[in-house]
Structure 1
Amino acid sequence: MQTLFPILAVLLAGIGVALQPPTNAALAKASGSVWLAALISFAVGTAALMVVWLFDWTPLSATRAAPWWAWLGGFYGAAFVAALAFASPRLGLAVTLTAAIASQLVTAMIVDRFGLLGLPQQAITPARLVGVALVILGAVVVRRG
């Protein structure tokens, strides 16, 4: 039961990740700019987070303890949103997301292996390698599909 809520949260977030690229691509098509679409996406997301934060109200000073690289998350997110808004109408949503997931898994295995970004080290096992290889193979199959 302790892992049920995080799993549900990730599953719901995954639905949002699948819906976000075509939503942003439609905005990019209408506006003629991937960058404007990504900016609007982040502005709407920022407004939503501001409303949620008002109920939590953790002081900004709490971020002083964060390492310098912890501030880069927004940059990664912006690049991801813009890249997927650009790629999804050109490659199709399934190919775009499969390629994104494959690259995320390879990166995650490297981060886990070396315990980067404050995470505990986790070995790269044969089973994990097979799992990532299957996702990469899936990306190729979906692309050729």
Structure 2
Amino acid sequence: MNNSIFYIIAILAGLAIATQTGVNAQLRTVVGNPVIAALVSFLVGSFALLIYILFFQRESLGGLSNLSDMSWHKWTGGLIGALYVSGVIIIAPRIGAANTTCLIVAGQILFALFLDHFGFLGFIQHSFNLMRLTGAFLLIAGVFLILKN
């Protein structure tokens, strides 16, 4: 199968995250608290997912019975998401959307290389090599060029 669709979805996810940064920062202004804004954001997202599942994937609800056998670290995704969204809500109004996103991307690149190199968290192992490190360096160099106003 051609992976092009996955690349397009990844780009769209990036567009969504940049938009979410601004929307959640505005939500914070309305409610006056970054953590409450993050909570509202997660509640709306959770409601949307629930509606989707009830209408389009009702049969997959049986998989919920597997949650009791799950290892503890697999529960941390929601916590990490809450920390991420809360952090972005606090940071973005102070340093701007591009700076926030660039620094997040730099952190993602560095840690993603680490995760891929060792195949942690179920990722396909992709060892460090000159091309990957050069690509990461160029992307991070681009981040710093954007940060230099």
Match of 1:13 in 2: 13
Q: Does 1:102 align with 2:106?
A: yes
Q: Higher mean Cα deviation, 62-71 or 49-58? A: 62-71
Q: Give the RMSD, CA atoms, in angstroms.
A: 1.5
Distance in 1 of aligned mates of 2:143 and 2:18? 15
**8 Å contact kept, 1:98–1:135:** no
Q: Higher mean Cα deviation, 41-50 or 27-36? A: 27-36
The list of structure 1 runs, each at least 4 consecutive aligned residues, that deviate by more than 6 angstroms after superposition, is none
Is the alpha carbon distance of 1:9 and 1:65 closer, same or farther for their aligned partners in structure 2, counting shifts above 3 Å? farther
Letter in 2 for 1:8: I
Once the two structures are superposed, the pairs formed by residues 1-145 of structure 1 within 5 Å of their partners are 2-54=2-54, 55-57=56-58, 58=60, 59=62, 60-64=64-68, 66-145=70-149
Distance in 2 of aligned mates of 1:35 and 1:82? 6
Residues 88-137 of structure 1: CA deviation (Å, up to 9, x unaligned): 11111111001101101111111111111122321111111111112222
% identical equivalent positions: 34
TM-superposed CA distance for 1:64, in Å, is: 4.5
Letter in 1 for 2:4: L
Q: 2:116 aligns to what SS in structure 1?
A: helix
Per the normalisation by structure 1, the TM-score is: 0.92
Residues 58-110 of structure 1: CA deviation (Å, up to 9, x unaligned): 12113345432121111111111111111111111111001101101111111
Structure 1 gap ranges (5+): none
Q: 2:101 aligns to what SS in structure 1?
A: helix
Is the alpha carbon distance of 1:45 and 1:26 closer, same or farther for their aligned partners in structure 2, counting shifts above 3 Å? same
